[in-house]
Every structure is written in structure tokens, then in C-alpha cells.
Structure 1
């Protein structure tokens, strides 16, 4: 039986892990509160209408989560310029020969469920694989759509300058109705991404056995010495 020596490598720095889990909480909060805002339940109460603030509280929670999500995204963009090689924006650039090779490898494993011989020395990435990188670019675009349409809907009732910066979005799309629909569709984009993302993370954790799940808690993955050596050689070439 072939044996390999694995080393514990810090892949995800603390700011990246904090960003990830804040994002998880924000998306969960925004989705649940968004469903309630889109289709508020009927509340039976003997209290005066002016004393019922349930819907206002839901909207307030939604807005607070939106602000946190927005500033958290800005901090992640900043960290893509100052973080390590796995957090860098270069890790998400898909237009390289290495990225296309890795993309084919991941698609073959994830969709066709075929394993390469000795994949650790071939195309398994230490950080994000190429398919994940492309999907995160798509997620970033969905996030921008959510931010632009969300703040546009909030602009009319907000007294702060930040949401009002997006007031031009509403007339661009012909009114609140279309902007609200786009915002709602973007929410479903987050839901579908989350389902696929969670499945693939656990799948790769089982397939590769390198600590894919635990790495987003502790930051470390287990990488073979051969793969680390190859990664250093590739880094010198670049």
C-alpha cells in the first residue's frame, strides 16, 4: 500500500474564516426575513394595530443583516489584496492553463464521479479548486445584484446617504415591482448555491480526506509533501 507524509498547512486565515461565518449568518437571516417580508403571515391579536411592531422588527432585522453583509463583503475584497495566496484575488482568476486543467479534473470527479489515479499530485488544489473559484465569482455577482436592488428598495424610506446612493437603480429597471422581483430571484440564487456548496464540501472532505470541513473552523488542511513540493515549483514558474 502506498503511504504519504502529510503536513498541516494553514490555508484559511482568521479574517477569511470570520468572513465566511458572518456570511452564513447574514444569508440565513436575510433569507428567512426576506420570505416573511415577501409573504407576511396574518397575525391574530386583540392589541391595537399601532402597538403591533412584528413586521417592523422583521424589516429592521433584514436591514441590519443587509448592512453587515455589505460591509463584510467590502472587507473580503480588501483582504483579497492583503491576505495569503489562498485568499488572494489571483486564486479566483480562471483564465489560466492550470485553472482549466483543474476545472476539468473537478468536473470529472464531481459530476462523472470518476477518480484520477494519484490525484494528489495532479490537480487537487490546496485552497479553492477552479470550479469553486468560478462559482464564487458568480456568487459575488449575485451579491452585488442583491446589494444594488436591496438598497434601491430601501432608498425611498431611508434617511441615510448610503441607501440613497442606489436610488437610480429603481428607475433603471422600470419601478419597484421589477427591482423587487430581481432581488427575490437573487435570494434563490443564494439558496441554490448554498445547497450545492454544502454538498460539495462534504463530498470533497470524504473524497480527499484533507480536512475540507474542519479547515473553515481551524484554518488548516492536510497536504501531502509531494503536493506541497509541486505547489512550490508551480509558484516559482509563475
Structure 2
């Protein structure tokens, strides 16, 4: 006999992540992995044994080349994301990342109770969960963008002294601001560990929220669509640009 209290939510298919956002996300993930691997090698190179002369190996040269190439991609990809925060849909807008309202802080507290305290969400907390990034994730991404800026400044600041191109030389003032190359390199290295820690927590929470909410969190960064409860979609309709054009 069917449970008369069983409630099956009606889901609406909502286009959340635009193609430029998804492209930025995966390109950023790739170049950060390259930057971390090559950065570790540059800071503490391995003692590679070979019968060939060291001048013929060019191992450090290749690692530096990959590091600098990935850095340029990272930098311009970051600039593109800054631009898209103003011209993209509401889920990519900067209002999703900066606490500007009381509702933002309420949602951060609700997410904290679900993610950190592992409390079961109720209807009241459900009202504070967004369709796109939840408030806690949005605020952490905002801190991540600041870390992106620090990483770009320190990285190009260190590179300015050995580059002949005008772009890195625009950052020649950075080491002096941080007190010299040594401290600038240390800040650059510490920022790398921030990204490593962020990546571990980010991957865990994506899988966790996909399990808890069942909205297609993982697949949404591939196809752009999430599956939102109909009643939640109606309550948060102000978040969705042109909701009448979204397929049910």
C-alpha cells in the first residue's frame, strides 16, 4: 500500500551555467593543475640522473616554459571571468559572490549547518538555498578571486625581471611592494597551497551537494542544466533570467 505521506517533488530543468562559464571553469582547472605541478618542480627540482650532459636535457627549461605558458592562460582567463561577471546571466553576476543582503547571510548560515554541522535541512532552510551558487560557495569563490589576483601579481612580479615582453614588466613594482623577491616568492607559494586546499574541499562538496540536493550538481558544469524543485523555482524566480524560456 502506497504511503499517503510520500511526496514526489516535481522538477524543472533550468539552464544555469552558460557555455563561457563552463569553459572558464574547466580551462581554469586544467591550468591550475599544470601550474601546481610545474611550480613544485621549479621550487624543488628533482635530482635526475642521466648519462647525457645537463645542457642537453633542458628539463628545468621545459618546466619553466609550461609554467609561464599556463600562467598567461590563467591570467587572461581570469580577466575574462571578471568581464563575464558583468555581462553574463544572474548566476554568473558578481551579486552571487559578494554579501550584499540579509538573505545572503541567512543562506550562508543555512549552508553552514548542512555542510559543516551535518544537520538535516528543513523547509525553512530550504527557502534560503539558491538555484545557482549557494551563498557560502559564492563567498568562498569571491575569496578565491582575490587569491587569483594575488597569484597573478606575485607571479608576474617575479617574472618581470627576466622577461623581455612589456606585459610582465607592468608588474615590476610588485616585489618592492611585498618587501623583495624572497617574500614575494613565499606569498606566491602559500597561495598555491590555498588552491590545493580549495580544490580538495570543492570536489568533496560538489559530490556531497549532488547527493543531498539531487539537482545534478556534477553534470550541470558539463551541460549547464540543473534540476530544481518546482516550488523552489517559483520562490526563487527572481534569480532566473527569462524563466519563461527555460524548459520544464
Cα offsets for 1:101-144 (capped at 9, x unmatched):
10110000011111222368512210000100110011011111
Secondary structure at 2:236 match in 1: helix
- What is the match of residue 102 of structure 1? 107
- For the residues of structure 2 that align with 1:185 and 1:173, how far apart are their CA atoms? 14
- What is the match of residue 153 of structure 1? 158
- For the residues of structure 2 that align with 1:121 and 1:193, how far apart are their CA atoms? 25
- What is the match of residue 92 of structure 1? 97
Q: Does the alignment pair 1:185 with 2:177? A: no
Does the CA contact (< 8 Å) of 1:37 and 1:58 recur in 2?
yes
- For the residues of structure 2 that align with 1:141 and 1:23, how far apart are their CA atoms? 15
Q: 1:47: how far off? A: 1.8
- For the residues of structure 2 that align with 1:72 and 1:139, how far apart are their CA atoms? 14
- For the residues of structure 1 that align with 2:140 and 2:210, how far apart are their CA atoms? 18
> Normalised by the size of structure 2, how large is the TM-score?
0.92
Correspondence for 1:81 among 79, 86, 101? 86
Runs (4+) off by over 4 Å = none
Q: Which is further off, 116-125 or 66-75?
A: 116-125
Within 5 Å, give how 1:110-189 maps onto structure 2: 110-118=115-123, 121-189=126-194
Secondary structure at 1:3 match in 2: coil
Structure 1: state its 5+ residue gaps. Answer: none
> Normalised by the size of structure 1, how large is the TM-score?
0.95
Q: Report how many residues are paired.
A: 236
Secondary structure at 1:156 match in 2: helix
Q: 1:232: how far off? A: 2.2
Q: Does the alignment pair 1:3 with 2:17? A: no
Q: Does the alignment pair 1:71 with 2:93? A: no
Does the CA contact (< 8 Å) of 2:96 and 2:133 recur in 1?
yes
